[in-house]
Structure 1
Amino acid sequence: MKKKVLILGSTGSIGNNTCSVIREFDKDFEIVGLSTNSKIDILKNQIKEFNPKKIHISSESALNDLKNDLKEKKIIYEGNITEFVRDIEFDILVNALTGYAGFLPTIEAIKKGKTIALANKETLVVGGDIINDFVKKYNASLIPIDSEHSAIFQILRHFKDAPISKVIITASGGPFLKTKKEELKNVTVEMALKHPTWNMGGKITIDSATMMNKGFEVIEAHHLFNLDYEKIETIIHPQSLIHSMVEFVDGEIYAQIGKNDMRLPIQHALTYPEIINTPFEKLKLHEHSEINFYKMDFDKFVMLKLAYECGKKGGLYPCVLNAANEICVYSFLEKKIGFTDIFDIVQKICDREINIPLTIENIIKTDKEIREETLHEVELLQ
């Protein structure tokens, strides 16, 4: 019987790649639901090809446009995206949403005891402790899609219960690996969007340029693999061929290496625990003459340092970090603030005492308040 797949964020990079994987494995999977924010042209093509039972569109204007074009209006789900997850039947949720928007839909899928193929790292950043408690309570499964976490996940499945010394998460260094710290203030939006190894959406590309994306991955790894932050190392690896490594207590380091193709970790997440022959191109090692590693520069990549600090503090600090960062990144993309203004504003917002307990209600409230406060900080610079 085919497994039913619900894709949130189907028109983005991960969503499109998921559709590509399912296209190759159409005997094993069927898409029962798709969602987008506003890219209805891509969504219409996906509807035509995969014939989902329901679709969800977050943007009201895009929704109205699609209603005018779509003959089968009955497939449009009118509630919010969390209700969409609640009301549709599926086996696997692929959460490819960007940012905080992915948090509540993940919780809804967990409550249904489903498998969540998780590309939305913010789910674990803002509420990882709550997510892990719910996964146990409702007997759900979290399978990472991020190439770095998929790499660690794959290595650990072969070394069950072996004592770990640390995990090593690789980072390409982004477009500013060789840029001096003092020159970052001159970075433009166009410069920041030119990632050297990955083709991603705008928000995550800017996060990669600031190294905040790697910071989120550190927090995500802490929750996924139950690791102290002292056991999570980040290292520069410009070629992005080794996606992560695990060092065991005997000093042996095992690395997962593969092409820079997100379809591979997506295939692994969808077919887990089986390992199935891939139709996608495999890595040809002879085409790569060198593999380099460099020590992480925390003095230049201050956002990564801040992510470690907020992760160690725990509680609502990562939620504050994420909310402030989201507002600043979109403000930068809209050219309202400069590149290094992101660093300054997020640091300022995170520099506070937080004694509120970590609950879903407090996450929702804190996220809203921090976004408003950050928007005010952005306006002060205009």
Structure 2
Amino acid sequence: MVTSRKGAGGKTAAKKKAGPADPDLVQLLTPDGDLVEHPEYSIDLTPEEYRGLYRDMVLVRRIDAEGTALQRQGELGLWAPLLGQEAAQVGSGRAQTAEDYAFPTYREHGVAWCRDVDPVNLLGMFRGVNNGGWDPNEKNFHLYTIVIGSQTLHATGYAMGMQRDGREAAVIAYFGDGASSQGDVNEAFVFASVNNAPVVFFCQNNQWAISEPNERQFRVPLYQRAAGFGFPGVRVDGNDVLACLAVTRAALERARTGNGPMLVEAFTYRMGAHTTSDDPTRYRSSDELEEWKAKDPILRMRAFLEKSKYADEAFFKEVDTEADTVAADIRERCVTMPDPKPISIFDHVYAEPHPLMDEERAEYGAYWESFEGAH
């Protein structure tokens, strides 16, 4: 269990209080920044580790904001913001070991940060100059998946392969509440269950599948679906980085030790647009947004650090300054990325030479050269 503990300088963490009103919601940190107990999940970190989670979330939010700004200024074709979902992504990202493997959607910028993926690679993909730019096998973080829900099947198959290879590791598959209605996701649940695959299904329920609210998507809480497939599900406060860390850590350990899959529903909120091509004011109220702003994951963690006296104003200013520095760096590297030659689209289609591809490359090259005089 979480215990009141002393950190650096003999300072004691904030006192534990009663848990959330919703008994099905795993919460360890209230919106006011108070630690609470839970009968099944707990967390006990050092002051440095608590500060590290706050730093992660602040930097991830700043990187995300820079991505949105770059798109608005014409430097990116599109951007999928994660504003409001930092705790779900950082908590689950830091719960993974180096051997675990993650399959993301197109919004897991915070998980990518935790897996040491250079944010510029994410920007490059949305800029249209690369297909991701990182080595999935080096980072144990797969390339972004645009097709809704298909990565859950990829994750399940990968987990089954690790299981047969005898590897002591687990896979985590990210998807959203809208994707939960896709056939691919439900098929992945079936395969994972009957094969007892070491995979954690991590659903970020941000309340909206683009413009469709939860009540238009399902009639029972998402985490309860797992029981119908024969494995457990749990709902965690997705704006509580400590709860997300504890629950995901336990789920991954459960999978690694041969106990099969688990569904984690991170109950959170997308405070921004679905993508930069979306206008959320057309389908949701400002009152709803204000209600969730009061549950902001970063403000919550800051309140905890202040109450526990694990951080002072100098620390918060230092993190904000670092965030601005990181943002300026990725902006400069993004806008100076060289455009790839159009012919390069053929370079990595096949690992070995392919006659048809060679023919198509030659035809396209000749077609492109015919326009050279016009450029």
Q: TM-score, normalised by structure 1?
A: 0.26
Greater share of residues in strand = 1
Q: TM-score, normalised by structure 2?
A: 0.27
Greater relative contact order: 1 or 2 (C-alpha under 8 angstroms, separation 6 or more)?
2
Q: Which has the larger radius of gyration?
A: 2
